[in-house]
């Protein structure tokens, strides 16, 4: 069986945000697999909660032989290594680093610990903009729409601007 393509979203709004994302990306490269695509950095408003601090976001595509649950375990360990407090399930908050698994090939996984595709993709401009930069024609396996179409349909009015 060949390698799977995994789409990961990085986010940070505490401290040296770019450094946190760079460090997370290095850990992913060393522990999960080869990075085959990456978006620009995006400066974005907090989504789902109020914060005075803007987020930096970036998406990478990794090729790996690991399954989705192994990747989840590794990304959570990376978050802890970089100083992230345990994730809470009841509310969003500022964070040193956040790593979300957006897609794992075109699989649909609905488990207690993991939902893929990420259930909020279509509602988040800060996710869709960098995705559209690197994978505009990728078809969301559940919604059956391209990333470009999801971005065009997105109602999120939070600011999100490409930095580089």
Q: What's the pLDDT band for 49 if we cut at 50, 70, 90?
A: low
- The token duo for 28 is 């992913």
What is the rounded CA–CA span in Å between residue 93 and residue 63?
Answer: 30
Domain count, the chain: 1
- The token duo for 74 is 């590794």
Phi-psi region of 144 (alpha: psi -120 to 50; beta: other; left: phi over 0): left
What is the rounded CA–CA span in Å between residue 24 and residue 60?
Answer: 11
Comparison of pLDDT for 91 and 62, the residue scoring more: 62
- The token duo for 26 is 């290095």
The per-residue pLDDT for range 100-149, each reduced to its tens digit, is 999 999 999 999 999 999 999 999 999 999 999 999 999 999 999 999 99
Catalytic residue set = 84, 95, 98, 100
Question: Domain limits at 108?
Answer: 4-162
Report pTM: 0.93
Q: Which helix (H) or strand (E) holds 21?
A: helix 17-31
- The CATH number of whichever domain residue 114 belongs to comes to 3.30.70.560
What is the rounded CA–CA span in Å between residue 31 and residue 12?
Answer: 20
Q: What's the pLDDT band for 72 if we cut at 50, 70, 90?
A: very high
Residue 146: strand, helix, or coil: strand
Q: Which helix (H) or strand (E) holds 77?
A: helix 68-81
Query: Which are the contacts of 83, defined by CB distance < 8 A and separation ≥ 6?
Result: 96, 97
Check pLDDT > 90 for residue 71.
Answer: yes
């Amino acid at each position: 069986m060949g390698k799977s393509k995994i789409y990961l979203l990085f986010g940070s709004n505490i401290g040296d945000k770019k450094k946190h994302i760079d460090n997370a990306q290095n850990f992913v490269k060393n522990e999960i697999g080869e990075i085959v695509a990456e978006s620009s950095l995006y400066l974005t408003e907090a989504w789902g909660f109020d914060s005075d601090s803007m987020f930096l976001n970036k998406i990478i595509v990794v090729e790996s032989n690991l399954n989705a649950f192994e990747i989840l375990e590794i990304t959570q360990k990376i978050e802890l290594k970089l100083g992230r407090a345990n994730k809470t399930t009841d509310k969003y908050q500022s964070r040193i680093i956040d790593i979300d698994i957006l897609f794992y090939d075109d699989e649909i996984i609905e488990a207690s610990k993991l939902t893929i595709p990420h259930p909020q993709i279509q509602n988040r401009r800060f996710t869709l903009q960098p995705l559209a930069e690197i994978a505009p024609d990728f078809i969301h396996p559940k919604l059956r729409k391209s990333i470009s179409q999801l971005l065009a349909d997105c109602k999120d009015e939070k600011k999100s601007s490409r930095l580089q």
